[in-house]
A and B are shown apart, each in its own frame.
Chain A
Amino acid sequence: MMRRTLTALVIVAVGIGIGCAKGEPDDPAETAYKAMRAEYSATDDEAKKAELAEQYLAEFPDTSHSGSMAAVVAYYRGERLGHQQQVFDVLSAALDQIEDPEARFEVSMAMVPASYEIGQPLDVAAVAGALAAERALGFDEHYRVMDAAEQHQLWSLAEHHAEAALAFATEEAYRADYPDRDFSDDQVALRARLRKVEALAYKGWALCNQGRDEECFSVFEEADPLNHSSYAGSSDTPLDRFWGQALVDRGAYEQAMELLIPDALLGDRSNALPPLKEAYVALNGDDQGLEDYLWSERQRIARTVDDFTLPDYDGTQHSLSGGNGNVMLLAFWFPT
């Protein structure tokens, strides 16, 4: 549930941030998009945000913004406000007007969670197949499909698209996907590596869920040395979470906890904490000492922050070491 939220949010951010660069300047759809976007950014009202996207989709269903608008509707109208039937209806109506196969794919994928919630599940394989009939899918599309398949426990579909995504887990493929971007060799190497770990993580998890234990754990082990940690120390991919859950399911609780702790404390908490709790309770009989355990684990794994010095808008330099023993909330952002 929460993972889906994050995916949607990232898409929303991308759609709102970058989508405006596309299209002709005097295109009415583009002019309307800019006006809508200004209103969208200015409000914190979730229903209003949903409404703006819905109105835009109703008026201009088939544009380069269709996918991001659909994601906004699915997130705010669906997940936040719980009106899944409305999401389904609004996106179905838009879909009827959309010819572009890529836009159809994006809008359909955004509809999948709502379609499951209201008991009329879309055929994810058919959605992917429709685009695949037009052109070969790329990494991000395979990722979308394998993630949706994982959410809805369509294991052989997840396995198939994870396998297909693996073909794009190379530096050449990554560069080819972003021809206009000036990435350094190190960045490209890291992104390619992360793609590989992600695809292997989903593949392993899909295999585990099909009862192919031997294969699944060997896939996790293949991915492990390639995995990458965030600054705080949690996994940058779902590998540890899937692997940990697979171990919990098989009763290997101690090993599972070791894998799940960094994500549960410093990373994808909403997905990693439940299996960690399950393992803790299985080992200890109840969750009485869980909070103390988490606190001591946090002390054990926390790293010391690196220092840096940067100017404020008056030109005064600030450094982290000047934090004078306060608790610090450090946020990285950019204005949208």
Chain B
Amino acid sequence: MELPRLQPLFEKYQDQGLDVIAVEAYRDTKRAQKFIEDKGLTYTFLENGEDDFEVVQSLFGVRGYPTSFLIDRDGRVMYAHLGFEPGDEVTLEEEILSLL
């Protein structure tokens, strides 16, 4: 799926101060862990609360997956993106570079 496309960005920019955090929305723990391991993903993975609306829906108003937010060093939401198409990582990289 889409998450593996974030791995090269993470590897390239983590030394310049990029954190990548992925929140799994439905606590599908086994499948999530298998996916993370199979794809060799090394950034931070968090699990959403027991109730899947706890953080995702109520706080961030997520209406589709994957949804990504880019947050600058001052904690401001500078970019939001619904879905992940091939090629989106180019835009994402430009956005990251503009914030680093």
Interface string of A306-326 (1 = CB under 8 A from B): 101011110000101101011
| Closest A residue to B57 using CB positions | A187
Whether A327 and B96, one on each chain, are in contact in the complex, defined by CB atoms closer than 8 angstroms, is yes
Q: Is A236 among interface residues, defined by CB-CB distance under 8 A? A: yes
Residues of A within 8 A of B57 (CB): 187
Interface of B, helix, strand, loop or mixed by DSSP: mixed
Which single member of B2, B28, B34, B44 contacts A318 (CB below 8 Å)? B44
Interface string of B36-75 (1 = CB under 8 A from A): 0000000011111100000111011111111111111111
| Closest B residue to A319 using CB positions | B46
Residues of A within 8 A of B69 (CB): 231-232, 305, 329-331
| Closest B residue to A311 using CB positions | B47
Q: Is A234 among interface residues, defined by CB-CB distance under 8 A? A: yes
A241 to chain B, nearest CB (A): 14
Given known contacts A312-B45, A331-B21, is B63 in contact with A236 (CB within 8 Å)?
A: yes
Residues of A within 8 A of B4 (CB): 44
Whether B3 and A331, one on each chain, are in contact in the complex, defined by CB atoms closer than 8 angstroms, is yes
B26 to chain A, nearest CB (A): 5
CA distance A329 to B66 in the complex (A): 12
Residues of B within 8 A of A5 (CB): 85
Q: Is A178 among interface residues, defined by CB-CB distance under 8 A? A: no
| Closest B residue to A322 using CB positions | B19
Residues of B within 8 A of A305 (CB): 69, 71, 75-77
Interface string of A1-19 (1 = CB under 8 A from B): 0000110011001000000
Whether A332 and B25, one on each chain, are in contact in the complex, defined by CB atoms closer than 8 angstroms, is yes
Which single member of A231, A236, A302, A310 contacts B23 (CB below 8 Å)? A310
Interface string of A30-62 (1 = CB under 8 A from B): 000000000001001010000000000000000
Whether B28 and A306, one on each chain, are in contact in the complex, defined by CB atoms closer than 8 angstroms, is no
Q: For A230, A306, A311, which residue has the most chain B Cβ atoms within 10 angstroms? A: A230
Residues of B within 8 A of A304 (CB): 74-77
A48 to chain B, nearest CB (A): 13
Q: Is A335 among interface residues, defined by CB-CB distance under 8 A? A: yes
Given known contacts A231-B61, A234-B80, A336-B1, is B67 in contact with A327 (CB within 8 Å)?
A: no
| Closest A residue to B60 using CB positions | A231
CA distance A230 to B81 in the complex (A): 10
B63 to chain A, nearest CB (A): 7
| Closest A residue to B63 using CB positions | A236
Whether A310 and B20, one on each chain, are in contact in the complex, defined by CB atoms closer than 8 angstroms, is no
Q: Is B12 among interface residues, defined by CB-CB distance under 8 A? A: no
Whether B28 and A335, one on each chain, are in contact in the complex, defined by CB atoms closer than 8 angstroms, is yes
CA distance A334 to B3 in the complex (A): 10
| Closest B residue to A233 using CB positions | B77
CA distance A56 to B26 in the complex (A): 29
Whether A329 and B49, one on each chain, are in contact in the complex, defined by CB atoms closer than 8 angstroms, is no
Residues of B within 8 A of A6 (CB): 82-83
Whether A41 and B1, one on each chain, are in contact in the complex, defined by CB atoms closer than 8 angstroms, is yes
CA distance A232 to B69 in the complex (A): 8
Interface string of B69-100 (1 = CB under 8 A from A): 11111111111101101100000100010111
Cross-chain pairs A/B with CB under 8 angstroms, 13 sampled: A44-B4, A236-B63, A303-B77, A305-B69, A327-B13, A327-B17, A327-B99, A329-B18, A329-B21, A329-B69, A329-B70, A333-B24, A334-B65
Q: A303-B76, A329-B69 are in contact. List 6 more A-B contacts (CB 8 A).
A: A303-B77, A305-B77, A310-B48, A327-B13, A327-B19, A331-B3
Which B residues form the contact surface with A (CB < 8 A)?
1-4, 6, 9-10, 13, 17-26, 28-29, 31-35, 44-49, 55-57, 59-80, 82-83, 85-86, 92, 96, 98-100
- A-B pairs, top 7 by smallest CB distance, nearest first, are A232-B80, A302-B76, A310-B46, A335-B31, A328-B71, A333-B66, A331-B68
